[in-house]
Amino acid sequence: MTLHAVLIVAALMFCIGLFGVLTRRSLVSVVLSVELMANAANINLVAFSRFGNHPWGQAMALFAIALTVAEVVVGLALVILIARTHGSTDADVPSALKG
Amino acid sequence: MSAALLLALPIAMFALLAVCWPLRHTGRFAGMLSAAVAVACFGIAVALFASGRSELYEYPWLVRSGHVIASVGWRLDPTSASMLIVVTAVAACVQIYSLGYLSHEPPKDLGRYFAWQSLFIFAMVGLVVAPNLLQLVGCWELVGLCSYLLIGYWWRKPSAGKAAVKAVWVTRFADIGLMTGIVVLYGATGGFAWDHVLAPQVATAVAALLFVGVMGKSAQMPLHVWLPDAMEGPTPVSALLHAATMVAAGVYLVVRAWPIFHAAPDVLVVMSWVGGVTAFTAACIALVQTDIKKVLAYSTCSQLGYMIAGLGSGEMLGGYLHLTTHAFFKALLFLAAGSVIHATGTNDIREMGGLWRKAPWTAGLFGAGTLALAGIPGFAGFFSKDLLLEELFEAGRYGPLVLCLAGAGLTAFYMTRVMCLVFSGEQKERVHHAHESPFVMLAPMLFLSVPAVAAGWFAGPFAERLGLEYHFSVTPVGGIATIFALGGVGLGVARYGIGQLTWLAWPAAATFLASAPVDRLWAAAWRQGLLPFARAAGWFDRYVVDGLINLSGWVALEGGERLRLLQTGKVRDYVYAAVVGVVLLAAWGAMQ
């Protein structure tokens, strides 16, 4: 297993996540996709830590996971709020920012 | 006691009347209060003159980095102290007289009238005691404002409103010269003082420009057109502003800025000619006027012409002395004319006649003023006019001298004409119901008649106080002037009193000289020149200056309108934008 292979997996995961964010209409799927992108970054951190023989990357990844949890909580709370006010979790329904 | 009190009292009175409207609306009481303040001012002025004190106080008004650009304050010296007496004496008399003359006015209007009268005293005192040209010009504009307000006192009458506006137009036009002169003076000396030594060219430029302003304010040909129209105001206003004090402000400016004018001999020559022409032409026009106030108005133009001509001789005393004596006897004449109008209810001297039986006091006082104005020996006007003509003779200004001498004869003639038409002869219909004016009107006239008759006898001490010399002496010029004056009176009595010499009818020639052509010229210049210019300036302002501002507003609005289309409100579009931005940033970073 080389660093290259791991980085490619992480890049693929990031792209899948980005694709999900850009294409999915359901807000829950969008939050899931954002999770995917965040974890791709975590894989990168762990990979550099493992192949670079330095523990800081792993520590960083742990912090990032903890923060991602908080982010997901906030994100899902927003989704619930939107679902309550608009009666749907479709990302295209809220359009108050339309000029 | 100081000159500051003379400034503080009237402005406090004005402020009180302006702010405290219940007091103003009492009318008569407000007038009495205002008149009391004016009398107090007169007392202070006399005390200041008697004490012979000199005071100079300058408060730095505009200061830039420690350098005083302009200051305000007061300068009390013999010149300003004597002028203060003239101003406050006439103002006090006029205010007391107004209580009687305007007694039938609505109280509200009367309160307004006295508020402006108080403001005028403040402005005029400020002008007289001004320590530099800047304050003088500021107060100059303030008396102009009072003139506008008081001419338009009966503003419901269209002619009064028009006359007020005309006075502003003409004097403002002349003030362009005054302002430019002051700017040139500031550029040359870095200050507004008039006692700097100036280079001859600078002195000539400044004096010439200042003189343009003087011509407007002191109603010199051809800028005299506003003064006869200003007679639309109440007669006491004409006596105070348009005979005794405000129109003399121009002459006073020359007296004050004498070092500048004295250093500009070319301007002095022009001044004596302008003054001479005005003295003669205005006297000609006065011959054919039928409105008693218009006669006096043109007479004022003419007498101001004498003062300017006298100053143009290069000697200050004659012109200044004539200013003071003229202020007294012309104010007296105007007040007496007001008394005549009050008695008969008309301004037209053709409808009067035989009034002396009905109003003997008015007749006597008008007669005293007439004798003083005509320059009959012994009366005030004689001494000052004599000195002035003598100065012209000694300076070799023969052209203006001849004009002034001819004017002296005409003055005596037209004043006799008015005397005869109004007071002698048989009583016309209007006069049957005429009555003598009340004491409140006669008393100020009686007071003014004292200096109008006797002021000339004090010319010697007066000159001494100013640091000049005056000795009365019989001279050929004075003799000729006296003969002309007596001849004018004699011819006037023969023509209008007895009814002989009817060929002295002053037909076409005099009417041609009447103000109408000059008036029409200015009206045309105003209509053809100034109004189109104002219209063009208005167009430029509306479409170019405002247009640029409106354009910037339009660009912002339209730009916003276009840009708002970018805001779709869809979350994914914002994410796309963020992704594209990141990709572009990455590409930019890769290219570095």
Q: What is the mean pLDDT of chain B?
A: 86
**Helical H segments across B455-570, by residue range:** 459-465, 476-492, 508-513, 516-524, 531-539, 546-563
Rounded to whole angstroms, the Cα distance separating B18 from B12 reads 10
The shortest CB-CB distance from A95 to any of B566, B569, B579 is to: B569
Q: Cβ B572–A91 below 8 Å, yes or no?
A: yes
Whether the per-residue pLDDT at B58 is higher than 70: the answer is yes
Question: String of b and e for B171-202 (b: at least 16 CB within 10 Å)?
Answer: bbbbbebbbbbbebbbebbebbbbebebeeeb
Residue B554 pLDDT grade (very low, low, confident, very high; cuts 50, 70, 90): very high
Contacting residues of B for A98, CB less than 8 Å apart: 567-570
**What pLDDT shows up at residue B516?**
65
Contacting residues of B for A30, CB less than 8 Å apart: 571
**What pLDDT shows up at residue A99?**
67
**What pLDDT shows up at residue B570?**
80
* Closest chain B residue by Cα to residue A93: B570
Q: Which CATH class is domain A3-88?
A: mainly alpha
**Contact by Cβ (8 Å): B336, B266:** no
The shortest CB-CB distance from B564 to any of A21, A91, A99 is to: A99
pLDDT, mean of residues B378-406: 86
Chain A residues with a Cβ under 8 Å from any Cβ in chain B: 18, 21-22, 30, 91-92, 94-99
Whether the per-residue pLDDT at B340 is higher than 60: the answer is yes
- Helix (H) or strand (E) holding A75, with range, is helix A56-86
**What pLDDT shows up at residue B108?**
85
* Lowest mean per-residue pLDDT among A66-75, B39-48, B438-447, B563-572: B563-572
pLDDT digits (tens, 9 = 90+) for B23-39: 888 878 888 889 999 99
Rounded to whole angstroms, the Cα distance separating B40 from B45 reads 9
The shortest CB-CB distance from A96 to any of B566, B569, B575 is to: B569
DSSP B544: I
Residue B508 pLDDT grade (very low, low, confident, very high; cuts 50, 70, 90): very low
Rounded to whole angstroms, the Cα distance separating B500 from B495 reads 5
Whether the per-residue pLDDT at B308 is higher than 70: the answer is yes
Tell me which amino acid residue B586 is: A
How many CB pairs lie under 8 A apart between chains A and B? 33
* Closest chain A residue by Cα to residue B578: A22
* Lowest mean per-residue pLDDT among B84-98, B149-163, B265-279, B467-481: B467-481
Q: Cβ B569–A18 below 8 Å, yes or no?
A: no
**What pLDDT shows up at residue B511?**
54
Between B471 and A41, the more confident residue is A41
**What pLDDT shows up at residue B441?**
86
Contacts of A47 (CB under 8 A, 6+ apart): A3, A6, A7, A10, A57
Q: Where is mean pLDDT largest: A85-99, B123-137, B568-582?
A: B123-137
Residue B558 pLDDT grade (very low, low, confident, very high; cuts 50, 70, 90): very high
Rounded to whole angstroms, the Cα distance separating B4 from B58 reads 11
Contacts of B142 (CB under 8 A, 6+ apart): B119, B122, B123, B126, B127
**Helical H segments across B395-438, by residue range:** 398-423, 429-432
DSSP B566: G
- Least Cα separation, residue A30 to chain B (angstroms): 10
User: Would you call B570 an interface residue with chain A, using a CB distance cutoff of 8 Å?
Assistant: yes
The shortest CB-CB distance from A95 to any of B564, B566, B570 is to: B570
Whether the per-residue pLDDT at B64 is higher than 70: the answer is yes
Q: Cβ A91–B570 below 8 Å, yes or no?
A: yes
Alpha carbon of B345 to those of B336, B337, B432, B434: distances in Å? 14, 11, 12, 8
Q: Cβ B570–A99 below 8 Å, yes or no?
A: no
- Least Cα separation, residue B547 to chain A (angstroms): 29
Between A14 and B156, the more confident residue is A14
Measured over the CA atoms of residue B79, residue B84, residue B90 and residue B91, the dihedral's sign is positive
pLDDT digits (tens, 9 = 90+) for B175-230: 999 999 999 988 888 788 888 777 888 888 888 999 999 998 888 888 888 888 88
**Single pTM value for the model:** 0.76
Question: Three-state SS string across B324-387, please?
Answer: HHHHHHHHHHHHHHHHHHHHHCCCEHHHCCCHHHHCHHHHHHHHHHHHHHHCCCCCHHHHHHHH
Contacting residues of A for B576, CB less than 8 Å apart: 22
- Least Cα separation, residue B587 to chain A (angstroms): 17
User: Would you call B54 an interface residue with chain A, using a CB distance cutoff of 8 Å?
Assistant: no
* Closest chain B residue by Cα to residue A23: B572
Tell me which amino acid residue B247 is: V
pLDDT digits (tens, 9 = 90+) for A75-98: 999 999 989 998 888 888 877 777
Q: Cβ A99–B579 below 8 Å, yes or no?
A: no
Whether the per-residue pLDDT at B2 is higher than 80: the answer is no
Q: Dig out the tokens for B485 from the structure.
A: 């004056």
Measured over the CA atoms of residue B157, residue B160, residue B162 and residue B168, the dihedral's sign is negative
Contacting residues of B for A94, CB less than 8 Å apart: 569, 571
**What pLDDT shows up at residue B505?**
57
Q: Cβ A91–B567 below 8 Å, yes or no?
A: no
DSSP B565: G
Contacts of B496 (CB under 8 A, 6+ apart): B416, B417, B420, B421
Q: Which residue, among B571, B576, B580, would best test binding to A if mutated, counting the most A CBs under 10 Å from its CB? A: B571
Whether the per-residue pLDDT at A7 is higher than 90: the answer is yes
**What pLDDT shows up at residue B161?**
86
* Listed residue (B354, B379, B358, B377) closest to B368, CA to CA: B379
**What pLDDT shows up at residue B120?**
92
Q: Cβ B579–A95 below 8 Å, yes or no?
A: no
Question: In this predicted complex, what is the ipTM?
Answer: 0.82
pLDDT, mean of residues B342-359: 81
Whether the per-residue pLDDT at B503 is higher than 70: the answer is no
pLDDT, mean of residues B298-311: 90
pLDDT, mean of residues B432-438: 79
Q: DSSP per residue over B196-263, as a string?
A: S---HHHHHHHHHHHHHHHHHHTT-TTSTTHHHHGGGS-HHHHHIIIIISTTTHHHHHHHHTHHHHHT
pLDDT > 90 fraction of chain B, expressed in percent and rounded = 19
Q: Cβ B572–A18 below 8 Å, yes or no?
A: no
Tell me which amino acid residue B455 is: A
Q: Cβ B572–A92 below 8 Å, yes or no?
A: yes
Whether the per-residue pLDDT at A41 is higher than 90: the answer is yes
- Least Cα separation, residue A60 to chain B (angstroms): 23
Residue B506 pLDDT grade (very low, low, confident, very high; cuts 50, 70, 90): low
Whether the per-residue pLDDT at B559 is higher than 80: the answer is yes
Alpha carbon of B297 to those of B136, B215, B273, B280, B371: distances in Å? 25, 15, 21, 14, 17
pLDDT, mean of residues B401-410: 87
Residue B409 pLDDT grade (very low, low, confident, very high; cuts 50, 70, 90): confident
Q: Which residue, among B562, B572, B582, would best test binding to A if mutated, counting the most A CBs under 10 Å from its CB? A: B572
